[in-house]
Structure 1
Amino acid sequence: MNKPLASSFEQIVNSRRAVRKYEQDTPFDHEAVRKAIELATLAPNSSNMQLWEFHRVISSEAREQVARCCMGQSAARMARELVVIVVRPDKWKKHAHINAGKIREAYKDQNDAKARRAHGYYEKLIPMLYNNDRFGVRGAVRKLLTFLRGLSRPTVREVSRSDVRVSIHKSAGLAAMTFMYAMKSRGYDTCPLEGFDSRRVKTCLGLPGGSEITMIIGCGKGTSDGVYSERFRVPLDEVMFEH
């Protein structure tokens, strides 16, 4: 009999740890990584813009180069594959166009009220939010306008260039967590890394200047000493509140 879905998910969540050492002599299924990335692309993301990329570092030479950029951390050095989660805010026009096209396919009646709202979202609102200049002047103007509007009504206030950047990274973080759970469901361990030289990693991977790295994830079959300590969390009443 199959386990209830909730029970299986709880088991995955409870067993997932940041594992920093991986077996080197056992076979590693790189296809499991591809399938986990497929699932990660189903993660919720802001406005369905999907401004993320998953760069797989597979060859031993490439892994060695990226591991050096991760300060030689064992989770990178011993990983059987590294997955670099990258955000691409520079692709917003292309992805907005793709979303608008999908809406045109979905609605036979283009004069339908829902279709008009959806078109307006990707053809007017998204460009207004994502079209930013280097110095953030457009974002500052949007901040001022939303402040004035917010004096009389509820208003979304996170509209600056930095706000949009945070939103894109949040979406990438959701995808990264989905990826790590998917890897655990396939019997593999992961470790998300933030300690790395982002400029050098971008050079290693040939990433464009407009890209940013959210995190690097080491993958493999964890060793018995790959978890450095017992799991610790602050008491629940420190982080959960009822209103």
Structure 2
Amino acid sequence: MRLIKRKFIFLETKMRSIIKFIFLLSFLLSFSEAKMNNKKIEEIISEYLIENKVNNSFHINKKLRLPTCEGNINIENRFGDFKTLLIKCNGNNKWSYNLRTNLKIDRIKKNKKTNLNKGKNVYVVKLDLKRRHILRKEDIEKKNIRNLGGNNFFLNDLSIIGRELKMPLKKNQIIRERHLVKNWTIQEGQKVIIENNRNKINIMVDGIATKSAMAGEYLEVLNKSTGKTIKAWVINSKKVSIFR
């Protein structure tokens, strides 16, 4: 009887040891899998930060155990400052997690400032030019300039060539719209056709522009038939319309 009891105690002790070993092994495997999964996500986050020109100094907290992802992982900048990243798993076991990175804002601002300082290729004059000079292709060239001092500049030479200078320009000066005499669509005193398109009846009469105007602008024209001044929209270099 004592022998049977001893055998039972021995078997019970052995079973407990086996259960403890299985539990420990399961825990170690789970921990190892979580560690490998965290490393994979950390690498994806690092690539994402580099692509967005943010200094990569981020590591996932060792205490954090993210679920395993069997599919693709997507990263989103949650609030635009890279301090919170939304981790999305698109596999069969879909999940998402808001991960705090604690990245410093000044790093991001520095990168944004660098992008802004790239400059633009804009047109400048090659040499000193006098007022009333008609711009030619050989008078201008493109230069990369960082400090443009506003958005009033030209990127296309078709908008410049043949235009008259309103004021003298110095060598390497940026060409701006205010430096050029306007290419009016209709000049003051010019003969125009006044179009009156109403009730599907198109009536056209001769008129004279009382001032210069650009296409799409409102203009007063003299109706030669009646001698009265009326307001009309500039359609093109020859025609104005009472109704837009």
* TM-score of the two chains, using structure 2 as the length reference: 0.18
Larger RCO: 1 or 2 (CA < 8 Å, sep 6+): 1
Q: Which has the higher helix share?
A: 1
* TM-score of the two chains, using structure 1 as the length reference: 0.18
